[in-house]
Copies of this chain bind each other. A is one copy, B any other.
Amino acid sequence: MITQVINVNEILEQALLFDFYGELLTEHQKEIYEQFVLEDLSLGEIAREAGISRQGVHDLVKRCSQTLKGYEEKLHLVEKFVAVKEKVKQIDQLLEEYEEEQREELLGSIRRISDEIIEEL
């Protein structure tokens, strides 16, 4: 069960990295990697369709994964976007709470988060 959770997180991470940096892969890499990570096809299925060996697909996917992680290690853009998204969710949450009390305090918090986002960009 723990293994499954790790796998799910890893797939989400791979999908996110692909979403950000996928365009820096070659067309061939993109096609294979997309089938594996986003369309969830098996190595065997992809190998048959692409006319390459199962091991070839495995190596390509692994290499792509390392390439994408390498971009993130240098640029940290996924990390930045995840942080911004988190703050926007906080704003949304505060707006929902707004209907209740402590209005002034909430507005102060929204402004603070909004300023933090600006500093972050």
Name A residues whose Cβ lies closer than 8 Å to a Cβ of B.
20-21, 23-24, 71, 74-75, 77, 81, 84-85, 88-89, 91-92, 95, 98, 107, 110-111, 114-115, 117-118, 121
Contacts and interface: CB of A to CB of B under 8 A. Distances in A.
A121 B81 contact: yes
A69 to B, nearest CB: 14
For this chain, the copies found in one complex come to: 2
A88 B20 contact: no
A95 B114 contact: yes
A21 B75 CA distance: 7
B118 A92 contact: yes
Nearest to A96: B111
B20 A84 contact: no
A95 B92 CA distance: 14
A21 B89 CA distance: 27
A84 to B, nearest CB: 7
Given A24-B74, A92-B111, 19 more contacts: A20-B75, A20-B77, A23-B74, A23-B75, A24-B71, A81-B121, A84-B84, A84-B117, A88-B117, A88-B118, A91-B91, A91-B110, A91-B114, A92-B114, A92-B115, A95-B110, A95-B114, A98-B107, A110-B110
